[in-house]
Amino acid sequence: KVEGVQTGTGNGVFVGNVTIGTTLSGSTYQMKDATRGGMYTTNLNNGTSGNGTLFTKSTDSWGDGTVSNKESAAVDAHYGVSMTWDYYKNTFGRNGIRNDGVGAYSRVHYGSNYVNAFWDDSCFCMTYGDGSGNTQPLTELDVAGHEMTHGVTSNTAGLNYSGESGGLNESTSDVFGTMVEFYANLAKDNPDYLIGELININGDGTPLRYMDKPSKDGSSADSWYSGVGNLDVHYSSGVGNHLFYLLSEGSGAKVVNGVSYNSPTANNITVTGIGRDKAAAIWYRALTTYWTSTTNYASARAGMLSAATDLYGANSAEYNATATAWAAVNVGS
Ligand code: ASN
Ligand code: ZN
Ligand code: CA
């Protein structure tokens, strides 16, 4: 084999058998993908600081699908960044988080019993805990897309991470994490409008968040009300997540990929969806063109209406659906 770009095989905890981008250096394979901005994956080995140690080995076959094999969660994280990179590039022509061709790296096995994952602007990297008890590693695909999207948001609208703009920031990560899950379309991770459904984060098999009816988690808002910005940003995100679901799929009962949803609306409004690809295109254009650090839900609506006009025309079906969906989460009605 010639040194340089390789295609390895991986077996992740969640992704199952996939191919991943790797590099051959001398006689050692590295979990580093030069075709996607040089992004790479490291092992923190239960530490909580530093870059971690790059995953390397003598063969180009990684993980076995079990959590006890430390490479398995690394395969999930590495593959998650790959799919997120490909989604943004192939859908919007965005070349990485900063649109500068540089890939972010991922650190897995953070700390002990850590039940979270996070993006950090200062290291330009994502970090994943292994979970605790029956909770699985946090390396599920929609979580990877969520965390990487925090980097995209930081480098575009820069939505402040508190109040309504913070909820919109969180929602933007759930929206594109979900779009990445649909883009990858894995047999072992059936695409859905749920967040973190494979991690067993609550110990009873329920997901972390529900986009069709955010209040199903017991804490998130289904619609806007004055004071929604006082909620934790992972709960005020419900307004944006619900808007996205309604704009994509419409109100009421629906089955998508075998998963049942039932999305209520504020003010008894009926929404007809325009499909998730158009909803995401409108959201992305608003994020990168109209929204700023202080955008609240009312101005998010205005930005998305401008984006819908740009993409589909004034008073297009897409524009009208956007207005109706925002009204159905009690914004601008
Ligand atoms: N996983 C969480 C998130 O991305 C971490 C946090 O609360 N910042 O939102
Ligand atoms: Zn987040
Ligand atoms: Ca999901």
CA–CA gap between residue 190 and residue 213 (Å, rounded): 19
Element (H, E) at 81: helix 70-92
Structural domain contains residue 243: yes
Q: Which ligand ends up closest to the CA of 153?
A: 2
Asked if 234 is an active-site residue, the reply is: yes
Confidence category of residue 1, pLDDT binned at 50, 70, 90: confident
Q: What is the distance between the alpha carbons of residues 177 and 51, in angstroms, rounded to a whole number?
A: 24
Residue 71: which domain range? 4-154
> What proportion of the chain, given as a percentage, has pLDDT over 90?
98
CB-CB contact of 258 with 208 (8 Å): no
Q: Over 90: is that where the pLDDT of 136 sits?
A: yes
Q: Smallest Cα–Cα separation from 308: which of 296, 326, 294, 293?
A: 326
What is the number of H-type helices and E-type strands within the chain? 7, 15
Residue 264 has pLDDT above 80, yes or no: yes
- Residue 333 is predicted with a pLDDT of 61
Q: Stretch 167-186: mean pLDDT, rounded?
A: 98
User: 138: domain CATH number?
Assistant: 3.10.170.10
147 has catalytic annotation: yes
Please give the tally of structural domains in the chain.
2
Q: Based on the fold, state whether residues 38 and 124 are members of the same structural domain.
A: yes
Atom of ligand 1 at shortest range from CA of 234: 9
Q: How much is the average pLDDT of 34-47?
A: 98
Same domain, 95 and 232: no
pLDDT digits (tens, 9 = 90+) for 247-256: 999 999 999 9
pLDDT tens by residue, 216-228:
999 999 999 999 9
- Considering the domain architecture, whether residues 49 and 170 belong to the same structural domain is answered as no
Q: Look up residue 235 and give its two tokens.
A: 């709960």
Q: Is 154 in the pocket of ligand 1 (CB under 6 A)?
A: no
Q: Does position 143 have pLDDT exceeding 80, yes or no?
A: yes
Examine the domain organization and report whether 224 and 265 are in the same domain.
Answer: yes
Residue 180 lies in a domain: yes
pTM, rounded to two decimals: 0.98
Q: Is any atom of ligand 1 closer than 6 Å to the C-beta of 142?
A: no
Q: Out of 109, 150, 234, 242, which one is annotated catalytic?
A: 234
Residue 226 and residue 149 share a domain? no
Q: What is the ipTM of this complex?
A: 0.95
Q: Tell me if 333 is assigned to some domain.
A: no
What is the arithmetic mean of pLDDT over 278-307? 98
* Of the residues 109, 130, 154, the one at which a domain ends: 154
Ligand 3 ion local residues (Cβ < 5 A): 142, 181, 192, 194
